[in-house]
Structure 1
Amino acid sequence: MTPDLRTHLATCDRNGLLERVTRPVSPGAALARRLAEAGDRTVLFERVVGYRTPVVGGICASRAGLARALDTTPERLVHAVAAAIDAPRPWRSTRDAPFRAHVVRNPDLGRVVPVVEFYPSQRRRYLTGTIVIARRGDGVNLSFHRMMLLGGNRLAVRVTPRHLHALLAEGGGRAEVAVACGVHPALEIAASVSGPPSLDELRVGAALLRGRLECADLDGFPVPAHAELVLRGRFTGALADEGPFVDLTGTADGVRRQPVLVVDRLYHRAGWIYRTILPGGAEHKALMGIPQEPRILRIVANAVPGVAGVALTPGGCSWLHAVVAIRARAAGDGRNAGLAALAAHPSLKRVVVVDDDIDPFDAEAVEWAIATRCQPDRDLFVIPDARGSSLDPSRDPETETTAKWILDATIPFGRPREEFLRVRPDDPPGKAARRRARPRPARRPR
């Protein structure tokens, strides 16, 4: 059986991780509130007022959930994604494309798709689980983009200065694209990774699915054959106001002039399920942050051997703050690791570097390391006037700059390691120092 959204939901259901909402719910604040309350559980809204299709969210709301979807462990998740980036695999071509079951030409999107108004105060309806498929040379580019409903068959698409932005610039703002929504979480992870322009995210998705990805041709675009919803459209070169949108920080992003996508055809499966992501919620953070960790891990490892782990922290919006665990071998390794992390993910604002006996996913353990191994006058490094993230509301709005900082919470170099390790009740006499000198097992990431 080909892995798709439906097989994933069936697995969640078997494991007691799928919550079904059977009462009618409107595609607005009530639906958004339920997703926010669900934590890391998947929620299927079976009856959406005004629509025949159910809505699902929360399928990628935690590290553990993503690990289950990729048949790995939370501890190995970053390595599994890194391996797929390093060794992408071909997908299988098929003529059997369930997404072709129904087609609507020049669709009135708001009538066909239960586009959610997540935050009534913002008065905007957004498609958030949408992956743009664009042609690039002899390959394709996959990338997540939110899409604000303008009315009829028109959408304002947020395009950041990356690969799709470059493709539009080359075409004078015009480009033909396909859009997939409602796919297996492996493809959502693949569409979220950051790599060079030559990286074919569709092949990364195939690697994460161990070669079991099937795609069908749609006007020259390879489209995941089992996608629930597919849009075929074109960027016209026109711009429209997009926003405000509640982004990763949970604050309202600004209004920008963004490219307009005109949808000429809408395809969907028989009995299709609409996929949505709560803006600013746990799932939004997981899909943004976790796919960035392999790149940070790799670049820090080039600067400092012995990197044990990297975590983009939920409290830092899974985007602005990171914790890096290393086995320091020389004076200055902590600072070098922090600098490498900032270079690997330019949106980072703060990096805490800890020893490899500290679980980077355990906020209490990280704070304990700061409390017991760090002196601010010696271990705090501030980099002023650096280019920051547009998501940070505290940045300088005119220059887009921010101050960045590194906190080296590793054991002071040259000091006996055992002086800084926790003493446990089960330490045997005469062996405590040796046991404490070894890294303790990391707590399972959540």
Structure 2
Amino acid sequence: MENQKLEIVDLRSALEFLKSVPGQLIETNEAADPNAEISGVYRYIGAGGTVMRPTRIGPAMIFNNVKGHEDARVLIGLLASRERVGLMLGEKPDRLGFLLNEAVKNPIQPVVSKEKPKCQEVVHYADEPGFDIRKLVPAPTNTEEDAGPYITLGMCYASDPENGDSDITIHRLCLQSKDEMSMFFTPGARHLGVFREKAEKLGKPLPISISIGVDPAIEIAACFEPPTTPIGFNELSIAGAIRNKAVELTECLTIDEKAIGNAEYVIEGELIPNVRVREDQNTNTGKAMPEFPGYTGPACAEIPLIKVKAVTHRINPIMQTCIGPSEEHVSMAGIPTEASILQMVEKAMPGRLLNVYAHSSGGGKYMAILQFKKSQPSDEGRQRQAALLAFSAFSELKHVIIVDEDVNPFDSNDVMWALNTRYQGDVDTIFIPGVRCHPLDPSQTPEFSSSIRDKGISCKTIFDCTVPYDLKDRFQRAKFKDVDPARFAPELFETH
């Protein structure tokens, strides 16, 4: 399937496309409370990921009747299926990393449109009487313990106050009052954090737009990280390459910044210098929201604040949200991770790394399965070099499992088979202790292990489940006859 044939340009065209594919999108008119109920329902429908069982991979879901928000709908789970992401990006699910890798190498920069944007069909200014972002934006909570309503899929767009470079990333944003939101920054991990720090040193607010409900290609592209996309690299150019068409931006109405022109919602605001708030100041739960490792993250005692200037949206807007530990995070974080690893290893040793899967159990960040082919005696040992390069390509990676070319990296049972029959723990496990990883892993603390000097430091580990090259003949899988099963069970197999 080719991207051009999909004609997906925004969220609504993506939903129209999914309606034509059985089993990928459902709707409900049942009244749903955005406070924990929407996520509570979708946990069973299609969350997957690291969500506590029972859960499953299922369709995306639209809630048409959201309590307290008569004119809005809420969409959840759009990206919570690798198959669905493949459909919307026009690529086979196991080739998505390659698609993004090519997009990074052939970027198409965004453009500013002069036409009236769809995202500004309705405008609400913060200085108008009765303005309240909590009533305008149906941001759900994932659980009843959350610090407050969260925007989980807001495309945050800001620019370097020194040189004007722009970037887009996704952050957790908690609605704190009628015109204030808190914004969480992973220390040292996001370009917008650098922009904010520069503005704060200058004593200036940083203009920022938050676009919600956009083309899913933008949501995937926004999750690339250094070194694949160094500071100054605008990830919107990756989305442009995926669609072979530049993303159209529009000028904001109240701040000197741009936003995505066909977004469902845009929030315009400023990050206020030297102002911090307690993330759970309205609930006092001590918790923020469920994060990708499957645990609810602690609320930050001091977190940067956005002062909202305006909310604009389309007529009858669609609020897009996700469950923090769901398969949606795996898709958004994991597929760019795969592309980054493919790019770095291919540069160093062409043709040997066949595929990569950023595994669901690691939320798309903590674990990668590398499918590596040894073609000659001198390739022995290079598989472990590829694992080291994977850690360099994505610093938050914790575990790498390496398998041979006859093992499907996307099939966990197949990977576990390799672990059981091609791996010896005392010789095939490589420990790299004391390396910075990710602060949301609760095992990465001095309390968990005295060997850990600071929160977020971990022992990165390689599990080499490949057969030594000189023993490959002894590890041939049973060879079954190659037949066309559709002849015998046409109802189970597609014919081509």
Q: Distance in 1 between matches of 2:41 and 2:101?
A: 33
1:210 equivalent among 228, 235, 244: 244
Given residue 444 of structure 2, which amino acid in structure 1 is its aligned partner? R
Q: Distance in 2 between matches of 1:2 and 1:37?
A: 28
Whether 1:187 and 2:232 are equivalent positions in the alignment is no
Query: Contact 1:122/1:244 (CA < 8 Å) preserved in 2?
Result: yes
Q: Distance in 2 between matches of 1:92 and 1:253?
A: 37
Query: Contact 1:158/1:258 (CA < 8 Å) preserved in 2?
Result: yes
2:10 equivalent among 4, 26, 30: 4
Q: What TM-score do the two structures reach when normalised by structure 2?
A: 0.83
Q: Distance in 2 between matches of 1:9 and 1:252?
A: 30
Number of the residue aligned with 2:97: 78
Q: Distance in 1 between matches of 2:259 and 2:270?
A: 16
Secondary structure in 1 matching 2:426 = helix
Query: Unmatched 5+ residue regions in structure 2?
Result: 1-6, 47-57, 280-286, 447-452, 484-496
Query: Unmatched 5+ residue regions in structure 1?
Result: 429-446
TM alignment of 1:42-57, pairs within 5 A = 42-52=60-70, 53-57=72-76
Number of the residue aligned with 1:423: 478
Q: What TM-score do the two structures reach when normalised by structure 1?
A: 0.92
Given residue 258 of structure 2, which amino acid in structure 1 is its aligned partner? P
**1:43-88 deviation digits (Å, cap 9, x = unpaired):** 0000001102010011111221111111111122111111111111
1:221 equivalent among 251, 257, 273: 257
Number of the residue aligned with 1:163: 191
**1:187-238 deviation digits (Å, cap 9, x = unpaired):** 1111111110121112221111211532222255332211000011000121
**1:71-113 deviation digits (Å, cap 9, x = unpaired):** 1111221111111111111334421301111111114111111
RMSD of equivalent CA atoms: 1.8
Number of the residue aligned with 1:22: 29
1:316 equivalent among 358, 362, 370: 362
Number of the residue aligned with 1:440: none
What is the CA-CA distance between 1:346 and the residue it aligns to?
Answer: 1.5
TM alignment of 1:210-249, pairs within 5 A = 210-211=244-245, 213-218=247-252, 219-237=255-273, 238-242=275-279, 243-249=287-293
What is the CA-CA distance between 1:404 and the residue it aligns to?
Answer: 1.5
Query: Contact 1:303/1:336 (CA < 8 Å) preserved in 2?
Result: no
TM alignment of 1:330-345, pairs within 5 A = 330-345=379-394
Number of the residue aligned with 1:435: none
Query: Contact 1:43/1:56 (CA < 8 Å) preserved in 2?
Result: yes
TM alignment of 1:426-437, pairs within 5 A = 426=481
Whether 1:131 and 2:155 are equivalent positions in the alignment is yes
**1:142-178 deviation digits (Å, cap 9, x = unpaired):** 1001101111110110112221111111111630111
Secondary structure in 2 matching 1:422 = coil
Q: Distance in 2 between matches of 1:349 and 1:76?
A: 23
Query: Contact 1:99/1:267 (CA < 8 Å) preserved in 2?
Result: yes
Number of the residue aligned with 2:53: none
Given residue 31 of structure 1, which amino acid in structure 2 is its aligned partner? I
Number of the residue aligned with 1:413: 469
**1:22-46 deviation digits (Å, cap 9, x = unpaired):** 1111102221022222223110000
Secondary structure in 2 matching 1:117 = coil
TM alignment of 1:274-353, pairs within 5 A = 274-305=319-350, 306-328=352-374, 329=376, 330-353=379-402
Given residue 291 of structure 2, which amino acid in structure 1 is its aligned partner? D
Q: Distance in 1 between matches of 2:431 and 2:111?
A: 49
Which stretch has the larger CA shift, 51-60 or 419-428? 419-428
Query: Contact 2:207/2:256 (CA < 8 Å) preserved in 1?
Result: no
Change (3 A) 1:323 1:69: same
Query: Contact 1:312/1:323 (CA < 8 Å) preserved in 2?
Result: yes
Query: Contact 2:147/2:289 (CA < 8 Å) preserved in 1?
Result: no
Q: Distance in 1 between matches of 2:191 and 2:243?
A: 24
Given residue 147 of structure 1, which amino acid in structure 2 is its aligned partner? L
Secondary structure in 2 matching 1:263 = strand
Identity of aligned residues (%): 27
Number of the residue aligned with 1:143: 169
Which stretch has the larger CA shift, 330-339 or 297-306? 297-306
**1:301-349 deviation digits (Å, cap 9, x = unpaired):** 2344311011111122221111111112422112212211122212111
Q: Distance in 2 between matches of 1:141 and 1:169?
A: 15
**1:361-404 deviation digits (Å, cap 9, x = unpaired):** 11111111111211222111111222121121101256122112
Query: Contact 2:8/2:17 (CA < 8 Å) preserved in 1?
Result: no
Query: Contact 1:12/1:42 (CA < 8 Å) preserved in 2?
Result: no
What is the CA-CA distance between 1:427 and the residue it aligns to?
Answer: 7.4
Q: Distance in 2 between matches of 1:15 and 1:371?
A: 38
Q: Distance in 2 between matches of 1:425 and 1:142?
A: 49
Query: Contact 1:127/1:146 (CA < 8 Å) preserved in 2?
Result: yes
Aligned residues: 427
Number of the residue aligned with 2:454: 399
Query: Contact 1:140/1:201 (CA < 8 Å) preserved in 2?
Result: no
Q: Distance in 2 between matches of 1:425 and 1:206?
A: 44
Which stretch has the larger CA shift, 226-235 or 29-38? 29-38
Q: Distance in 2 between matches of 1:412 and 1:273?
A: 53
2:318 equivalent among 253, 263, 273: 273
Number of the residue aligned with 1:357: 406
Secondary structure in 1 matching 2:469 = coil
Given residue 323 of structure 1, which amino acid in structure 2 is its aligned partner? I
Whether 1:379 and 2:428 are equivalent positions in the alignment is yes
Secondary structure in 1 matching 2:288 = coil
Change (3 A) 1:357 1:134: same
Given residue 266 of structure 2, which amino acid in structure 1 is its aligned partner? V
Whether 1:13 and 2:19 are equivalent positions in the alignment is yes
Which stretch has the larger CA shift, 380-389 or 130-139? 130-139
Secondary structure in 2 matching 1:244 = strand
What is the CA-CA distance between 1:295 and the residue it aligns to?
Answer: 0.8
Number of the residue aligned with 2:486: none
Given residue 343 of structure 1, which amino acid in structure 2 is its aligned partner? S
